Amino acid sequence: MIRIERTVTISGLALAMAFLAAPSAQAQSADMTFFVTSNGPGKGADLGGLDGADAQCQKLAQTAGAGTKTWRAYLSAQAADGKPAINAKDRIGKGPWQNAKGTVIAKDVAELHGATNNLTKQTALSEKGEVINGSGDQPNRHDILTGSQPDGTAFAGPDDRTCKNWTSSTQGAAMVGHFDRRGLRDDEPSKSWNSSHPSRGPDGGCSQADLKSTGGDGLLYCFAAN
């Protein structure tokens, strides 16, 4: 009986020490400076413009304990109505950026848009620190709204690549990237995290149903800009 009591006491002490030594999920999230949204606003690519998209990032960061930072959605906007284009790469600060588990995605803007960034299915975690469904999973949610070219800049010309600058849930198209770096082909666009293909679908290209039909869910990349 004495031996059993000692074993229980030692085991309990070991568990307590392990609990104290391990950083809490909330503490890890507080240091987070990058995540993929666990969900979108639910209106397809109508995000309420860039401000609405930023608010979505801020809201989810707040729930994860990282709301003291200024969060920006990685989205470009095209020139329209006399207003100049806005580049996604210019909205997200200077870096470095790390996910909810502390893994660094990129040290700066140049690395993020280069061949050596560390953005993969295993590192592109949600604000909750969870892996998101990618290619081969059901449902596939790997299409991330960006509206951007591979270098992080907005598209020029008349073709809509931002669903009317993130205000349309019907007509238009949005350029998306694959956070898991996988697609239907073994080519660079399929492996691009920010510029894989435009959205499309029977509703016009920008509805929630259209985004889901090609492997998306209206999700965003969020970066802490400070």
Residues 103-132: tens digit of each pLDDT:
999 999 999 999 999 999 999 999 999 999
Question: In the prediction, which pLDDT does 213 show?
Answer: 95
Q: What would the DSSP string read from start to end of 69-132?
A: S-EEE---B--BTTBPPB-GGGSS-S--EE-TTS-EEESSHHHHTSTT---STTT--BTTS-PP
The predicted model gives 27-51 an average pLDDT of: 92
In 3D space, the residue among 134, 206, 133 whose CA is nearest the CA of residue 175 turns out to be 206
Question: In the prediction, which pLDDT does 28 show?
Answer: 60
Residues 5-20: tens digit of each pLDDT:
444 344 444 444 444 4
pTM for the structure as a whole: 0.88
